[in-house]
Amino acid sequence: MSESALVQAILTEASARGHRLFQNPIGTARHSKGGRVFHVAYGCGGPGSPDLWGWTKDGSFAAIEVKVRGKKPKPHQAAWMDAARVSCPTLRIGWADSVEGAMEVLEG
């Protein structure tokens, strides 16, 4: 299963269970105006931040980094999640390579 298909499956199952998640694309957009070029960052949390953000049905804030089977978070993604855990111990954050793994992050 591709990462985008897995993200959609996670979003569907999370919604069916009463959770609310949103995709968090990260990148830079190039804009020009009056001959000037601007690079504008988009996404919440900057490089390394998780693919999905939202809240659980019980009101806890949650974030999930999605990976295809056999892949793990890159070092900067793992560091981001570690920093978030320290800053917000009640945050439900983790990574998942399956729908079941994502539900464990949300409900575990």
In Å, how far are 34, 91, 96 from 108, measured between CA atoms? 52, 12, 12
DSSP annotation of 38 reads: E
- Average pLDDT (70-91) is 95
Mean pLDDT of the chain: 95
User: Does residue 72 contact residue 95 with C-beta atoms inside 8 Å?
Assistant: yes
Asked whether residue 23 carries a pLDDT value surpassing 90, the answer given is: yes
Which domains are present in the chain?
3-107 (3.40.1350.10)
Distance, CA of 1 to CA of 17 (rounded, Å): 22
Characterize the bridge pairing of strands 20-23 and 52-55: antiparallel
Q: What does the pLDDT read at residue 5?
A: 97
Q: Please tell me the pTM assigned to this model.
A: 0.89
Q: Which residue in this structure is represented by tokens 């990462």?
A: 3
Look at residue 46 and tell me whether its pLDDT is greater than 90: no
